[in-house]
Amino acid sequence: MKKTLLLIGILSLSFAFSYAQEDGKRFRSTYLKINPTTLINELDIVLEQDISDKISIELGISGIYTDYPDYVLAKKIDIGQKKPDITTEQFVDGAGLGFRAGLRYYLITKEIGPSSAAGTYFEPVLIFKKVFYSNQDVTLNNNTYTNSASKDVYAIQLLVGRQFRREKLVLDPYFGIGLRGKAYHSDNYVLGDDGVVNRNKGTLVSVLPSLHLGIKLGLRLRK
């Protein structure tokens, strides 16, 4: 999945820059946006840069301060999936960083369509996140061991939305579908039935479709 996402990203950026070079009319507006719908677990900041009248590039970074929503999805909702060997406390204390890159194509602009639909766009987005879970010390047979875990997330989203612009303010609602892959890495120590301490180190991979519905709020920095 890593190679597929990388290939899609390279092809999308190549198309965007070739299109921008062929289009003599360019807009250089820059927008800074946040996504309030994700504030329950992360601060998502996005920078959008116009490179032509129809195409812009979005780059984003996320500061993750808890992974509790994934605890609900991975541990509380049971659809027969394997569950990661990560405790509730580790999910709650999880922290990390996320990065995203999107290529936005405006399907309707003021020049080619009605003003009531201007700003409608389609955008494929590539996402990578790294979450580190807190270490936990356990005492087994009078010895102390440390359990550790982390998670990698690879995702692609296909979004449709409409960006409203009023002077410097930006309102950007969207919805879409996607595919998300998660790799949970755990390194735990447990006491076996024979009284021997065993080390369980492994990776659990989960790939599932995803739905997306949200809104971004922001400001135009320059034009």
Q: What is the pLDDT of residue 110?
A: 61
**Radius of gyration over every alpha carbon of the chain, rounded to an integer in angstroms:** 21
How far is residue 58 from each of residues 68, 78, 125, 175, 184, measured CA to CA in Å?
Answer: 27, 35, 9, 16, 28
Query: What is the number of structural domains in the chain?
Result: 1
Q: What is the pLDDT of residue 21?
A: 47
Q: Which residues of the chain have pLDDT under 50?
A: 2, 5-6, 8-13, 16-17, 19-26
Q: What is the pLDDT of residue 59?
A: 97
**Residue among 183, 216, 221, 217 nearest 202 (CA):** 183
Per DSSP, 16 falls in state H
Question: What is the span of the domain harbouring residue 45?
Answer: 2-222
What is the SS3 string spanning 116-133?
Answer: CCCCEEEEEEEEEEEEEE
Q: List Cβ neighbours of 211 (8 Å cut-off, separation of 6 or more).
A: 175, 176, 177, 178
The predicted model scores a pTM of 0.82
In degrees rounded to 5, what are phi and psi of residue 46? Answer: -130, 135
Q: How many CB atoms lie within 10 A of CB 114?
A: 8
CA distance 67 to 209: 19
Q: What is the pLDDT of residue 97?
A: 97
Instruction: Please give the single-letter amino acid code of residue 167.
Output: E
Reduce the DSSP state of residue 15 to 3 states and report it: helix
Per-residue pLDDT of 134-191, as tens digits, reads 999 999 988 999 999 999 999 999 999 999 988 889 999 999 999 999 999 999 999 8
Q: What is the pLDDT of residue 112?
A: 55
**Residue among 116, 120, 98, 94 nearest 107 (CA):** 120
Q: Whole-angstrom distance between the N-terminal and C-terminal Cα of the chain? A: 37
Instruction: Please give the single-letter amino acid code of residue 89.
Output: E
